[in-house]
């Protein structure tokens, strides 16, 4: 425990935090301060958009002098907080975190760590040299579903892991809003592959369950569905402007974002900060220039809509992960097979089954089902449990089983970078040492 952590523990005062990038994810993590003001206090914001900066400052009652346009403005002034929640876009993570570490801030960093392995290792080195804490937002580790499974593995209940099979089914409406119409639809613009932008959670979780370093990775996948040549006959370019089949289309922007009210924090500027639009204003935006009003078959997307990854770890364990986009139901599945038994379950169902061989006459196996509380979000209730652990770490208290070092966070990222390289180059990728 360093001196700073010891002081925090002695005083039991709230950890003071500055938000860098006042987007949806940052504000979600920062909401922990409203629920637990005795543990976390938001004292500043860095946000280049002036409207968003003003709204964030108002949300947390911040003085103007603690609202900054850039990270450079923040670090060139006096240090007035202990940590930062960095929720910037993927390609900004490293360039914004490096000066924060140099200035002496601990960082809760949204995933992925970086958009290239070279940048990731640059950040890893800088964190080691600075002595600061960098905790990556691997929120699936904190979902009660996965943490309960990890505890059973740690207890030795199913023996040594032989194989893990996971899948992520990305719903049709999530696929459309984020990876076809939205900010992560192109590796060229956001600098992250679909595997890193969407499955970074899953690859980290596999590494966490195995508890060893990845050795080799192969991967296959493509953009198969959402291309202009696959558009239904008669489809227009914008749902509400020129599409005669909009009323019957399952990807109708009107149905997704107005009738069902999904994904408003992406579709409507600053809705996560309380900005409200009328239905008429929303319809006009989708009709005219809002990117989320585009036809899903006529966008500038180039990321894959399905991908499979195969991994071999140093200890000989193998694993596979399947990402399938545009499914009817969103879900994450897991099946872990060990030398003494197996665990299988679906995150959204909130339950998993532990099985063991049973050679008694008339039997084949025994099984026990475990039901857990599941919140209605894509991360199974892990988001704010992550923030609670970050506070514990900064206070020098004992973290949970879900806590990870930056070094171990890197293992899942190595799988992701190697997986995309394998897909593009058509070969198995060997993963080296850090």
Retrieve residue 405's tokens: 């070092």
Q: Are strands 15-20 and 83-86 parallel, antiparallel or unpaired?
A: parallel
Q: What is the pLDDT of residues 112-122, one digit of tens each?
A: 999 999 999 99
Retrieve residue 336's tokens: 């872990």
Q: What is the pLDDT of residues 270-310, one digit of tens each?
A: 888 888 899 999 999 999 999 999 999 999 999 999 999 99
Q: What is the pLDDT of residues 57-74, one digit of tens each?
A: 999 999 999 999 999 999
How confident is the model at residue 11, as a pLDDT?
Answer: 55
Does pLDDT of 7 surpass 70? Answer: no
CA dist 269 and 231 (Å) reads 28
How confident is the model at residue 421, as a pLDDT?
Answer: 97
Phi-psi region of 274 (alpha: psi -120 to 50; beta: other; left: phi over 0): left
How confident is the model at residue 273, as a pLDDT?
Answer: 83
Crossing angle for the helix pair 194-210 and 144-154, to the nearest 10 degrees: 30
**Helix intervals (H) in 68-193:** 71-75, 93-103, 117-130, 144-154, 172-174, 187-190
How confident is the model at residue 3, as a pLDDT?
Answer: 44
Q: 94 CB contacts (<8 Å, ≥6 apart)? A: 113, 114, 119, 120, 122, 123
Does pLDDT of 34 surpass 90? Answer: yes
Q: What is the pLDDT of residues 11-33, one digit of tens each?
A: 578 999 999 999 999 999 999 99
**Helix intervals (H) in 12-143:** 24-30, 32-35, 50-59, 71-75, 93-103, 117-130
How confident is the model at residue 380, as a pLDDT?
Answer: 66
User: What's the chain's average pLDDT?
Assistant: 94
Q: How far is CA 127 from the centre of its chain?
A: 21
CA dist 78 and 240 (Å) reads 50
3-state secondary structure of 285: helix
Domains of the chain: 3-136 (3.40.50.720), 141-226+303-377+405-430 (3.30.360.10), 228-293 (no CATH)
**Helix intervals (H) in 141-278:** 144-154, 172-174, 187-190, 194-210, 253-254, 264-267
Output the CA–CA distances (angstroms, integers) from residue 307 to 88, 140, 194, 303, in the order listed. 26, 20, 9, 10
Retrieve residue 292's tokens: 């989320």
Q: What is the pLDDT of residues 158-205, one digit of tens each?
A: 999 999 999 999 999 999 999 999 999 999 889 999 999 999 999 999
Closest C-alpha among 171, 166, 178 to residue 140? 166
How confident is the model at residue 28, as a pLDDT?
Answer: 94
How confident is the model at residue 158, as a pLDDT?
Answer: 98
What is the rounded average pLDDT of the residues 228-246?
97
Q: What is the pLDDT of residues 371-427, one digit of tens each?
A: 987 766 656 688 999 999 999 999 999 999 999 889 889 999 999 999 999 999 999
How confident is the model at residue 270, as a pLDDT?
Answer: 84
């Amino acid at each position: 425990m360093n001196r700073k952590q010891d002081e925090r523990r002695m005083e039991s005062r709230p950890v003071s935090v500055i938000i860098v990038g006042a987007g949806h994810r940052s504000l979600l993590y920062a909401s922990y301060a409203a629920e637990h003001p005795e543990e976390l206090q938001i004292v500043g914001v860095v946000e280049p958009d002036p409207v968003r900066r003003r709204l964030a400052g108002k949300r947390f009652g911040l003085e103007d002098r603690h609202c900054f346009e850039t990270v450079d403005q923040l670090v060139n002034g006096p240090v007035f907080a202990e940590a930062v929640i960095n929720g910037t876009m993927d390609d900004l993570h490293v360039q914004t975190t490096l000066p924060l570490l140099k200035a002496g801030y601990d960082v809760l960093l949204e995933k992925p760590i970086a958009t290239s392995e070279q940048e990731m290792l640059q950040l890893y080195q800088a964190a080691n040299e600075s002595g600061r804490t960098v905790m990556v937002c691997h929120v699936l580790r904190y979902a009660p579903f996965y943490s309960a499974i990890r505890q059973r593995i740690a207890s030795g209940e199913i023996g040594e892991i032989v194989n893990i099979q996971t899948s992520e089914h990305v719903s049709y409406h999530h696929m459309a809003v984020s990876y076809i119409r939205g900010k992560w639809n192109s590796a060229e613009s956001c600098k992250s592959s679909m595997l890193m932008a969407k499955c970074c959670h899953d690859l980290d979780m596999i590494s966490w369950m195995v508890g060893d370093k990845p050795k080799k990775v192969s991967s296959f996948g493509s953009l198969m569905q959402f291309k202009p040549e696959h558009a239904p006959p008669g489809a227009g370019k914008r749902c509400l402007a020129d599409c005669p089949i909009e009323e019957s289309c399952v990807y109708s922007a009107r149905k997704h974002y107005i009738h069902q009210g999904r994904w408003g924090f992406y579709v409507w500027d600053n809705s996560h900060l309380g900005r409200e639009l009328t239905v008429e204003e929303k319809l006009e935006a989708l009709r005219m220039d809002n990117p989320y009003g585009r036809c899903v078959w006529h966008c500038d997307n180039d990321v894959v809509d399905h991908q499979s990854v195969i991994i071999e770890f140093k200890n000989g364990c193998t694993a596979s992960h399947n990402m399938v986009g545009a499914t009817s139901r969103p879900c994450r599945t897991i099946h872990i097979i060990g030398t003494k038994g197996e665990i299988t379950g679906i995150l959204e169902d909130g339950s998993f089954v532990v099985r063991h061989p049973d050679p008694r006459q008339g039997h084949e196996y025994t099984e026990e089902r475990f039901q857990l509380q599941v919140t209605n979000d894509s991360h199974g209730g892990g988001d704010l449990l992550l923030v609670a652990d970050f506070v514990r770490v900064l206070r020098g208290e004992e973290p949970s089983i879900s806590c990870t070092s930056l070094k171990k966070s890197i293992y899942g990222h190595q799988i992701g970078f190697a997986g995309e390289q394998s897909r593009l180059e058509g070969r198995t990728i060997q993963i080296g040492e850090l």
